[in-house]
């Protein structure tokens, strides 16, 4: 009679358990190593983003400083080159020898001095208006923008129009000035570089968002172009725009219409209640 011998479990199970344990241990170590390297990669990426953001902040700050310095230098040059000589000339007509002249010569000198002083007053008024346009100060952003576009259209060089759909309450005057300067800079860029035949501006609000949109049919840029220029040493005007909007925590977007027939620039601001100019002071 032949007896069949059943394999004893102890001869194979411990070996399988050993290799299984080794495999699980290797998998666990692999996961730990992967997690560590992944976390380090994420940290490096976050640090790189922080450095890029810091560099961007520094560039915007430098652009803002350059903008302020350029405006100061322009005002100083206007006063020195124009107002200074005018006042010096008026002083020549009103010197101490005036009393020794005959009455007719005295009256002529006084008249000439008055004319020069009037010219100086007008010059200073023009400088003041460049800092704060009177239409903007007295009537608000809508009137100032409409006036700007009417002047452009009246020149015959371009068909320009603007329309405010929802601007019943003014923003704070300093915020209106910032937005107006941004619009001026954008319009100047379009006039200089786009070769457009028309430019149209619209304003509207949605919830607490305030939008200004510029459309034109000339050469333009996209958001990718804008971001590249902001990171380069060129495009100072665009950096000025970015630095101005940063004061208002605003955003700007450049895009080409889906029809590929015109470019669009969108300014987006969050309109808080405390930023609204009281209706009684309009």
Residue 12 has pLDDT above 60, yes or no: no
Tell me the average pLDDT of the chain. 80
Checking if the pLDDT of 10 tops 60, the result is: no
In the chain the domains, ranked by start, together with CATH numbers, are 21-131 (no CATH), 134-281 (3.30.565.10)
Q: The whole model's pTM is what? A: 0.60
**pLDDT > 90 in the chain, percent:** 20
Residues 6+ apart with CB under 8 A from 251: 245, 267, 268, 269
Q: Quick one: pLDDT at residue 4?
A: 44
Whole-number pLDDT of residue 62: 60
Cβ-count burial 245-267 (b if 16+ within 10 Å, e if not) = bbebebebebeeeeeeebbebbb
Task: Indicate whether 265 pLDDT > 50.
Answer: yes
As a whole number, mean pLDDT of residues 16-25 equals: 76
How many C-beta atoms surround the C-beta of residue 180 within 10 A?
19
pLDDT in tens, 57-103: 666 556 655 666 666 667 777 777 777 788 888 888 888 777 788 88
Q: Mean pLDDT across the stretch 156-179?
A: 87
Joined together, the tokens standing for residue 74 give 């322009």
Q: CA triplet 148, 141, 78: central angle to 5 degrees?
A: 60
Residue tagged 């380090």 (tokens): 40
Segment 185-237, tens digit of pLDDT: 899 889 888 899 999 999 999 888 899 999 999 999 999 988 888 777 666 67
Q: How many CA atoms lie within 13 A of 212 on its CB side?
A: 23
């Amino acid at each position: 009679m032949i007896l069949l011998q059943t394999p004893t479990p102890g001869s194979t199970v411990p070996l399988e358990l050993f290799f299984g344990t080794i495999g699980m241990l290797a998998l666990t170590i692999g996961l730990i190593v992967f997690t560590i390297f992944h976390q380090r990669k994420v940290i490096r990426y976050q640090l790189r983003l922080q450095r890029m953001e810091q560099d961007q902040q520094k560039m915007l700050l430098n652009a803002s400083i350059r903008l302020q310095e350029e405006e100061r230098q322009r005002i100083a040059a206007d006063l020195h080159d124009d107002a200074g000589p005018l006042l010096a000339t008026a002083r020549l007509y009103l010197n101490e020898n005036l009393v020794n002249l005959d009455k007719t010569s005295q009256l002529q000198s006084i008249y000439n001095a008055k004319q020069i002083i009037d010219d100086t007053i007008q010059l200073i008024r023009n400088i003041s208006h460049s800092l704060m346009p009177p239409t903007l100060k007295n009537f608000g952003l809508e009137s100032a923008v409409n006036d700007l576009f009417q002047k452009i259209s009246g020149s015959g060089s371009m068909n320009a129009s603007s329309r405010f759909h929802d601007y019943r309450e003014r923003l704070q005057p300093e915020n209106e000035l910032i937005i107006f300067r941004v619009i001026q800079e954008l319009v100047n860029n379009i006039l200089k570089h786009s070769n457009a035949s028309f430019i149209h501006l619209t304003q509207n609000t949605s919830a607490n968002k305030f939008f200004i949109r510029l459309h034109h049919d000339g050469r333009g840029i996209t958001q990718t172009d804008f971001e590249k220029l902001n990171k380069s040493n060129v495009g100072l005007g665009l950096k000025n725009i970015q630095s101005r909007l940063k004061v208002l925590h605003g955003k700007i977007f450049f895009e080409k219409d889906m029809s590929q027939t015109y470019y669009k620039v969108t300014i987006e601001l969050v309109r808080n209640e405390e930023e609204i100019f009281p209706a009684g002071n309009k």
